[in-house]
């Protein structure tokens, strides 16, 4: 029985003299006299990893003795998922050395069950325009749908394959994650198998997020890719990456001015512009400010000591702000005057004592009726 399915496919291929593309989608002469589990185990290294995970997640009895349909992911699909996981970890500054054992067992269990549905589901039962909604072992919503292949120029004149989709909790097909079968309708003693293509990534789009939840958090760090040096100019629009509550707080949704960044901080073109050849953020100003809003910047302070900071502001109502380093108030209240217009820019000065090294600089707005362009730090 070892590699029984593969032998059947080879016989079908040579007997019909099909091209390789037709062979890839070919429907096997499809019945094996063993359980789904035993068939996979007999394939040796084709499904070694998959069988190991089945055993660890206690799905052995399900695939041996219960009537189920298994949309079978190949070992290469699992290897690809692990590669993607380690790539993501390394990009976010973690060690990219995770193995099967590093991933919590509940993740393997939860995702592996998405490939198994109760009862016998063959391709003929999925021949509907919108497919057939299916429920996995843990009650997750899936969908199965047949799709024709082309043969010798005839549209849908070739063999049928199945599109097996994770609905991602959405009724709109545009949000679904789709896996394509390589072979369909392999009948076993206790149900049915459909073999997924090797290019399918295990877990659809959920594996990395479930195995490594940190990957779902907003990207955090300096917006420019490096800490902003002090002494120097900190452009107000160049606040950190990280999103609401991490890199900024804004009291209303959306960027009212619609410029520079697609977040909730409001920005517009600045008449004062960027005359010093610095960051592109210098061409814009933060506007529509309100009390309790704040912006955070990762800065690298060259030397501890006293600095003079010039804050460039414009507005008819003035305001009160504080500068904090690592959540410690370094400035006390800084009061802004009425400058006579939303683009009538004026410098407001304050002295602050700063520590050396990399720190978070926070600009906190206590009272507001002004636009904000930049902060200019000079060592005293």
pLDDT tens sequence across 294-304? 999 999 999 99
Range 141-145, long-range pairs (CB < 8 A, 24+ positions): 141/167, 141/169, 142/114, 142/117, 142/166, 142/167, 143/167, 143/173, 143/176, 144/71
What is the spatial distance between Cα 188 and Cα 167, in angstroms, rounded to a whole number? 27
The pLDDT value recorded for residue 214 is 81
Cβ contact 144:127 at 8 Å: no
**Band of residue 277 on the pLDDT scale cut at 50, 70, 90:** low
pTM: 0.57
- The pair of three-digit structure tokens given for residue 169, joined into one six-digit string: 């909790």
For the chain, the structural domain boundaries read 4-216, 228-379
CATH superfamily of 4-216: FAS1 domain (2.30.180.10)
| Tens-place pLDDT, residues 19-42 | 333 323 334 448 999 999 999 999
> CA-to-CA distance for 377 and 372, rounded, in angstroms?
15
From the number of C-beta atoms within 10 Å of its C-beta (0-12, 13-18, 19+), residue 2 rates as exposed
Give residue 215's pLDDT: 77
Average pLDDT over residues 312-319: 94
Task: Give 171 or 152, the one with higher predicted confidence.
Answer: 171
Q: How far apart are CA 369 and CA 339, in angstroms?
A: 11
pLDDT at 30: 80
Residue 345 has, within 13 A of its CA and on its CB side, a CA count of 15
Kindly tell me if the per-residue pLDDT of 151 is higher than 50: no
Measure CA 90 to chain center: 15
- Residue 268 near residue 257 (C-beta atoms within 8 A): yes
- The pLDDT value given to residue 10: 30
pLDDT tens digit sequence for 93-117: 789 999 999 999 999 999 999 999 9
pLDDT recorded at residue 49: 97
What pLDDT score was predicted for residue 28? Answer: 44
Overall CATH class of domain 228-379: mainly beta
Number of H helices, E strands in the chain: 8, 18
251, 252, 256, 262 alpha-carbon torsion, rounded to 10°: 90
Running DSSP on this structure, what letter comes out for residue 224?
T
pLDDT digit string, tens, across residues 178-187: 999 999 999 9
Whether residue 78 contacts residue 54, with contact meaning beta carbons closer than 8 Å, is answered with: no
- pLDDT band for position 278 (cuts 50, 70, 90): confident
Q: Is the pLDDT assigned to residue 11 strictly greater than 60?
A: no
Per-residue pLDDT band at 317 (split at 50, 70, 90): confident
Domains 4-216 and 228-379 share a fold: no
State whether the Cα torsion 109-112-116-117 is positive or negative: positive
User: Percentage of the chain with pLDDT > 70?
Assistant: 88
User: How far is it, in rounded angstroms, from Cα 71 to Cα 58?
Assistant: 17
Q: Angle of helix 48-56 relative to helix 105-112, nearest 10 degrees?
A: 110
Mean pLDDT of 142-147: 94
Task: Residue 339: count other Cβ atoms within 10 Å of its Cβ.
Answer: 21
Mean pLDDT of 147-168: 70
Look at residue 221 and tell me whether its pLDDT is greater than 60. yes
Three-state SS annotation for 318-368: EEEEEEEECCEECCCCEEECCCCCCCCCEEEEEEEEECCEEEEEEEEEEEE
124: tokens are 């003929």
CA distance 261 to 45: 49
Lookup: tokens for 174: 């545009």
pLDDT of residue 149: 57
CA distance 112 to 170: 20
pLDDT digits (tens, 9 = 90+) for 58-85: 999 999 999 999 999 999 999 999 999 9
Residue 342 has pLDDT above 70, yes or no: yes
């Amino acid at each position: 029985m070892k590699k029984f399915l593969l032998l059947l496919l080879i016989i079908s291929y040579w007997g019909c003299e099909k091209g390789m593309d037709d062979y890839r989608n070919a429907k096997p002469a499809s019945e094996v006299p063993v359980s789904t589990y035993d068939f996979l185990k007999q394939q040796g290294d084709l499904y070694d990893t998959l069988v190991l995970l089945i055993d660890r997640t206690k799905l052995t009895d399900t695939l041996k003795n219960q009537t189920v349909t298994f949309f079978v992911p190949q070992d290469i699909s699992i290897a690809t998922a692990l590669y993607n996981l380690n790539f993501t970890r390394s990009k976010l500054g973690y060690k990219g050395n995770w193995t099967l054992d590093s991933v919590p067992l509940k993740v393997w269990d939860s995702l592996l069950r998405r490939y198994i549905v109760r009862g016998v589901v063959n391709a003929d039962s999925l021949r509907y325009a919108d497919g057939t909604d299916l429920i996995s072992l843990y009650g997750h919503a899936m969908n199965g749908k047949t799709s024709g292949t082309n043969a010798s120029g005839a549209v849908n004149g070739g063999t049928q394959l199945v599109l097996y989709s994770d609905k991602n909790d959405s009724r709109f097909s545009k949000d679904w994650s789709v896996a394509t079968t390589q072979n369909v309708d392999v009948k076993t003693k206790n149900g049915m198998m459909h073999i997924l293509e090797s290019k399918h990534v295990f877990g659809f789009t959920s594996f990395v997020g479930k195995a490594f939840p940190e990957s779902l958090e907003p990207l955090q760090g300096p917006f420019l890719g490096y800490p902003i040096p002090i002494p120097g100019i900190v452009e107000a629009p160049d606040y950190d990456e990280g999103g609401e509550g991490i890199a900024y707080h804004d009291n209303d949704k959306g960027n009212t001015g619609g410029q520079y960044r697609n977040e909730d901080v409001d920005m517009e073109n600045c008449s004062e512009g960027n005359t010093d050849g610095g960051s592109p953020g210098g061409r814009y100003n933060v506007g529509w400010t309100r009390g309790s809003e704040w912006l955070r910047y990762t800065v690298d302070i060259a030397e501890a000591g006293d600095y003079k900071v010039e804050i460039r502001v414009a507005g008819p109502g003035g305001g009160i702000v504080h500068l904090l380093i690592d959540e410690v108030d370094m400035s006390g209240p800084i009061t802004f005057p009425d400058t006579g217009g939303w683009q009538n820019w004026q410098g407001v000065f304050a002295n602050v004592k700063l520590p050396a090294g990399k720190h978070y600089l926070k600009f906190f707005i206590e009272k507001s009726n002004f636009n904000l362009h930049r902060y200019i730090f000079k060592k005293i």
